[in-house]
Amino acid sequence: MYLEDRDEIIKVPVGLLFEIEEDDLEDAEKAVDGMLERIKPEQRVSHTAIDVATLFAERAASLTGVINKKDSRGEILIDADLLHRVDSTVKQSGATLRKQLEDNGIDVDRKLPKTVVIYVGNRRSFVAKVDPDVLTTDVDKVRVETDRFAITFKLEDLEQDLDKVLKFSVEEVSRYANANAEMAMPQAIVSSPAETGSITVKVTMPDGGISNPITLSLRAGYHAKLSETMVLNDEPTPSKYNPVTVTIDGKTTSSGTYSTETNEVDFTDIEDKSMEMQIAIKSLASKGILVGTSETTFTPDGTITRAEIATLLVRVLGLYDERAVSTYTDVTKADWYYVGAASCQKAKLMSGYGDDKFHGLDVISKEQIFAASGNVLIEYMDYEIPSNPDKYLNRFKDEVPSWGRITIAVSTQENLVVYRTDGLFLGTSNMTRGDAAIVIHRLLRRIW
């Protein structure tokens, strides 16, 4: 699998992950060494390279503690006893592989979650039952996977609903055209170059839906495009390509039928913009995260409101919740952005004002969008707070507001900030729609 970065090509050695045997940290270290060999020294300061190397190490660590359930009848009880079999293994592996990255010049900025993989073989369906006692373990995530699809639970996100055993079922209702192609390895979802077509699964969740999202992964094409997206009941849904598992990953809270498809979207008024802006706009639009101002135009130089950004953020995170309730006095159910503002308030992504108002139709400022984006990375991806925020904020010739120093420093550290040639931050200035698309697209690339 390939990842473009700094005009270079980074080859992600997915095949090395196939060689990791259960409980074999040495195999995992060899795989990470192989990943590091593909990253040139000058690329190791690149945020994209750091992100994919971290993701690779996370996957390698999880494969040292695989729980093999391929001979089961397709129904798995995920409880504390099951997770305790391997939790110490993946914890040790994660710590060792993180140090390995850092010793080789990869400055890891976030926590490597302790992920347990439960492999159920070449099955067309499975049922996963999650017992409330999983919250007593030291595990962060549980991934149940077949050779073609997987679901991943972040246990902390399930806590709100885990007052009883939660039952999730996933059933494949279509296969790749070349369904009989030999799989490369039973512990990872991998596409063969010969395989074409799409995969469709039916996901059934407790009570039709849950409070916080799980991640659904469907096997991607061998050369996944930016426009390849997950669709829910034929509508594009926020998702992204994972170069390590070779899947299209989408976050969802709802039961439904999911598949992948190429959804090309373009606008007539972005051709004179930077290539990054064009890619960001087209990619986000193809995934249903943002929309144009008409069927053919995006208006990249137009302003964007707090309500629009709130809605974009919750869509990116899979937190768009029709059941969320807003307590802002200036947000009513008649407002188009009610669900977006209510979901954003529930998730504590953006703050309102001291007058108990959201001011959703106000144009959002740079400092507000970068503070919110930094907050997302800290709260939802466990990015570490810089010990010295000035290391990043001193890049600007003007002041950054005191209330947003930490979160804006994280956004700056992770290259979410669209820099000006004059070196000014200009935090109170308005964001354009095009610049906001770049920020949200860069943020999406950090969300796993």
Contact 151, 203 (CB under 8 A): yes
pLDDT score of 286: 93
Q: Tell me how far CA of residue 94 lies from CA of 32, 99, 291, 386, 394, in angstroms.
A: 11, 9, 39, 21, 33
**Encoded tokens for 33:** 């060494």
At 199 the pLDDT is 87
β partners of residue 241: 248
Q: By the 8 A CB rule, do 162 and 136 touch?
A: no
Do residues 137 and 83 touch, judged by C-beta distance below 8 A?
Answer: yes
Secondary element (H or E) of residue 75: strand 75-78
Distance between alpha carbon 432 and the CA centroid of its chain, in Å? 24
| Nearest to 175, CA basis, from 122, 248, 126 | 122
Point out which residues pair with 384 in neighbouring strands. Answer: none
pLDDT of residue 175: 54
Mean pLDDT by 10 residues, the chain (448 residues): 48 93 94 94 88 96 95 93 96 97 95 96 95 97 96 96 97 62 37 53 94 94 74 88 93 93 93 96 93 95 96 92 93 96 93 89 96 95 94 94 96 91 94 96 92
* Cα 433–chain centre separation: 22
pTM: 0.90
pLDDT for the residue numbered 9: 61
Picking from 161, 104, 157, 106, the residue whose alpha carbon sits closest to that of residue 132 is 161
| Amino acid (1-letter code) at residue 59 | R
Closest CA to 66 of 86, 43, 91, 41: 86
SS3 state of residue 194: coil
- In whole angstroms, give the CA distance from residue 26 to residue 62: 13
Q: Which residues pair with 115 in a beta bridge?
A: 141
Q: How far is CA 409 from CA 48, 52, 374, 413, 414, in A?
A: 18, 21, 8, 6, 9
Report the distance separating Cα 325 and Cα 334, nearest Å.
13
> What type of residue is 215?
T
Which residue, chain included where needed, has tokens 């077949």? Answer: 146
pLDDT at 351: 83
